[in-house]
Amino acid sequence: MAGNLYDALLGGLEREDRLLLKDGTVGAVSYRAFADQCARLAGALLQAGLQPGDRVAVQAEKSVAALALYLATVRAGGIYLPLNIAYTAAEIDYFLNDAEPAIFVCDPAKLEALEPIAEAAGAKVLTLDPSGSGTLADAAAVAAPIAATSSRGGSDIAAILYTSGTTGRSKGAMLSHDNLLSNARSLVESWRFTEKDVLIHALPIFHTHGLFVATNVVLASRASMIFQPKFDPDKVMEAMPQATSLMGVPTFYTRLLQHPGLDRDSTAHMRLFVSGSAPLLAETHQEWEKRTGHAILERYGMTETNMNTSNPYDGRRVAGTVGFPLPGVEIRIADPETGARFGTEEIGMIEVRGPNVFQGYWRMPEKTAAEFRKDGFFITGDLGKVDQDGYVHIVGRGKDLIITGGYNVYPKEVEMEIDALPGVTESAVFGVKHPDFGEGIIAAVVLKPGAEMAEQDVIKALDGRLAGYKRPKKVAFVAELPRNTMGKVQKNILRDRFAGTFEAMAAAK
């Protein structure tokens, strides 16, 4: 598979006039037009000084131009680095100083706050707004389109995606051209995608789900998509008669179940509903099948590995499981301490090996070495088991990871910000079941003697320090945090104590 990912996904399609996507802003876009946009953007990046292996960091709203920028960066030999549009200037400062990109692309509305940060990190700053305009678009309009795709090996890095760390510092997962291509081809095969498919693309494109799973599967299968700027239940329902598939997070499905138009007739043209990025509640799975006649296909992946497992396209899609290993992917359950392999129905650490597994963490060789076994298996940090029928179950997560609305949040990062507030002694952040987001974040806060603080004081103080999805949805003030004999905070006790909080809050409305 060695070679540039761009050629595998778009090579040979530069003269194809058939539809690639429909977008509410720019209208219908053919494969030919999209490839031409990629070529011009790649030319602009080269003109801006991009060299093979340079990073292009991007914090821009979802648009066709932003999607094309991903492929343009890869074609030009750069490494694409998408950043969540909710990240604050303080968070962007860390990413740019860690990754040291040659180019930083941001929304012109954020230029005043971000340009000094980017320039201090040594990056050339270009802009791109939600309509596809900005200094990058201006540069692309006059730049010579790239003449030939940059020669890259399959093991060369195509993208870096940052994932949270338990120390509160994010780690850059390095994904190669072959990592991304192998996973796209595996998903095309497993989910039966063809050029006749039309995907409703309502996911963000700064995350592996929308950027790599949804986009790469469409391109690898020569399919098309209805490109929506964000998830809107009415817009998704409106698109279903023209579409065949939807990829979403559990929140998509819980909100669509509240739509009066959702029934067997409205979903009759659809062949596949996929859910991932967070656990899908069994009741959501069952209610969806009852209302529509479709069984949601749940799968399991992570930033470092792309997709690892999937419930079957043909066969039972079992609620509460994530199915079987994808073609070419090996899954095993092991003792977290010794690495000894466990048997059927035994709960342990999920470990994975395959062409989808990343190349390591950016500039963290020791961390990379610690996360891999000697035989090449990656230690995911997720706890699970394999049942007697071979289905993989995720039963818990190591390192206290919270997944809310499809986004990963590590408590330590939030705790560091809360603990720094005047009047706070310490805090413990954890997730409990949330009817809409899968998990909602709760912060248990211990105040200093004599200090006074209200819930909204804490939440407001985090504004500008943390992205919105990382902020607690509930702050509880406690006299002390529960600890074991070694002094470690027992978050399991806190989770038990506050279980049902968000259901009760919803019922009280």
| Domains of the chain with bracketed CATH | 5-152 (3.40.50.12780), 186-398 (3.40.50.12780), 401-505 (3.30.300.30)
Residue 206 · residue 212 · CB < 8 Å: no
**Structural element, H or E, at residue 46:** helix 31-47
487 in the Ramachandran plot: left (φ > 0), alpha (ψ -120 to 50) or beta?
Answer: left
| Per-residue CA distances from 401 to 128, 379, 439 (Å) | 33, 14, 10
Contact (CB, 8 A) for 322 and 311: yes
- Calculate Rg over the CA atoms of the chain: 23
Angle among Cα 90, 229, 261 to the nearest 5 degrees reads: 130
167: tokens are 């120390």
pLDDT for residue 303 is more than 50: yes
Average pLDDT over residues 145-151: 95
Is the Cα torsion angle 236, 241, 243, 246 positive or negative in sign? positive
Nearest to 95 by CA among 168, 166, 170: 170
Query: What's the pLDDT score for residue 492?
Result: 86
Sheet containing 360-361, strands listed edge to edge, beginning at the edge strand earlier in sequence: 124-127, 103-106, 55-59, 79-82, 157-163, 171-176, 360-361
Distance CA 349, CA 380 (A): 7
Share of the chain above pLDDT 90, in %: 84
Q: State the pairing for strand pair 424-434/438-447.
A: antiparallel
Count Cα atoms within 13 angstroms, Cβ side, for 46. Answer: 21
pLDDT of residue 400: 74
CB 159 within 8 A of CB 79: yes
Q: Model's pTM, two decimal places? A: 0.85
Residue 383's pLDDT is what? 83
| For residues 290-309, average pLDDT | 97
Q: In this structure, what token pair is assigned to residue 222?
A: 């020569």
Q: Can you give the pLDDT at residue 166?
A: 40
Q: Helices marked H in 257-325 — which ranges?
A: 282-292
461 in Cβ contact with 496 (< 8 Å): no
pLDDT for the residue numbered 399: 65
What's the mean pLDDT in 193-198?
A: 98
Asked if 206 and 407 count as a contact pair (C-beta separation under 8 A), the reply is: no
Mean pLDDT of 108-131: 98
pLDDT tier at 213 (50, 70, 90 boundaries)?
very high
Distance (Å, rounded) from C-alpha 460 to C-alpha 67? 33
For 406, 407, 508, the CA distances from 469, given in Å and listed in that order, are: 10, 8, 23
36-77 per-position pLDDT tens digit: 999 999 999 999 999 999 999 999 999 999 999 999 999 999
pLDDT score for 167 = 43
Q: Which three-class secondary structure string do you get for 73-110?
A: HHHCCCEEEECCCCCCHHHHHHHHHHHCCCEEEECHHH
pLDDT digits (tens, 9 = 90+) for 378-437: 999 888 899 999 999 987 666 677 889 998 787 888 988 998 999 998 899 999 999 999
Alpha helices in 148-281 (DSSP H): 177-191, 208, 215-221, 233-239, 250-256
At residue 165 the predicted structure's pLDDT band, cuts being 50, 70 and 90, is very low
